[in-house]
Amino acid sequence: MLTLVSEALDPAAAEIVDPLEQQVIDFFVDGTRVLGLPRSIGEIYGLLFISPSPLSLDDLVARLDISKGSASQGLRTLKTLGAIREAQNHGQRRTYYQPATDLKRLAGGFIKEQIRPHLESGRTKLDRLNASAESITDPGRREFARERIDKLETWVRKSSRILPALQKLLGS
């Protein structure tokens, strides 16, 4: 059992979080809440964010007191979002993670993974809506439905146009 030795050598492997770390974690837990992501993801990203050296899955499990399953899934989601990357692991088998800290890039990943799919499904739904509207018999009702569906199309179009602009703004 080498735990004590490795802890002594590497402070980053301490099996608790200090007060500062806890505060940063809380900051990000609140952030993931707004974004509709699970708490564990905020915890993982938060700890990586404030850690001077990269951390492994087992580090996260030990220090955040979460299960391997949670850590594994959380890391996968963060990778998909482009919010973390693997650190250079010199010959080591174990992989270590570092946070991406470029806000523009982070926003880009979130938009791509969490927003765009909904906009696309929205467009599909609008196609079907247009078809349904055509088969309304009452002319007044049909006209009203058209107007509202047109409005929805405008909304979706505007939202799509805004995402890149938004990302651009975050990069400056």
Partner DNA sequence: TGATTTGTTCAAAAAAGATTGAACAAACCT
Partner DNA sequence: AGGTTTGTTCAATCTTTTTTGAACAAATCA
Are 47 and 25 within 8 A, CB to CB? yes
- Closest-CA residue to 114 (of 30, 45, 27, 37): 37
Q: Cβ closer to its own copies: 76 or 118?
A: 118
The reply on whether position 91 binds its own copies by CB under 8 A is: no
In this structure, the strands spanning 84-86 and 55-56 are unpaired
Q: Cβ closer to its own copies: 15 or 143?
A: 143
Using CB distances below 5 to 8 A depending on partner kind, what does residue 151 bind out of its own copies, DNA, none?
its own copies
| Dihedral angle over CA of 28, 30, 35, 40, nearest 10 | 60
Residues 6+ apart with CB under 8 A from 143: none
Q: Cβ closer to DNA: 27 or 144?
A: 27
List b or e across 85-119, with b for residues whose CB sees 16 or more CB atoms inside 10 angstroms.
eeeeeeeeeeebbbbbeeeebbbbbbbeeeeeeee
Shortest distance, CB of residue 45 to its own copies, whole angstroms? 12
Are 69 and 57 within 8 A, CB to CB? no
Site for its own copies in 102-121 (CB under 8 A): 103, 114-115, 118, 121
Q: Cβ closer to its own copies: 15 or 30?
A: 30
Please say whether the dihedral angle defined by the alpha carbons of residues 124, 126, 131 and 135, taken in this order, is positive or negative: positive
> Which residues of the shown chain bind DNA in the complex (CB under 7 A)?
33, 36-41, 56-58, 65-70, 72-76, 93-95
The reply on whether position 137 binds its own copies by CB under 8 A is: no
* Ordered strands of the 96-99 beta sheet: 55-56, 96-99, 84-86
Shortest distance, CB of residue 133 to DNA, whole angstroms? 27
The reply on whether position 16 binds its own copies by CB under 8 A is: no
Point out which residues bind its own copies (CB under 8 A): 19-20, 23-24, 26-27, 30-31, 33-34, 36, 49-50, 52, 101, 103, 114-115, 118, 121-122, 125-126, 128-129, 132-133, 136, 140-141, 144-145, 148, 151-152, 154-155, 158-159, 162, 165-166, 169-170
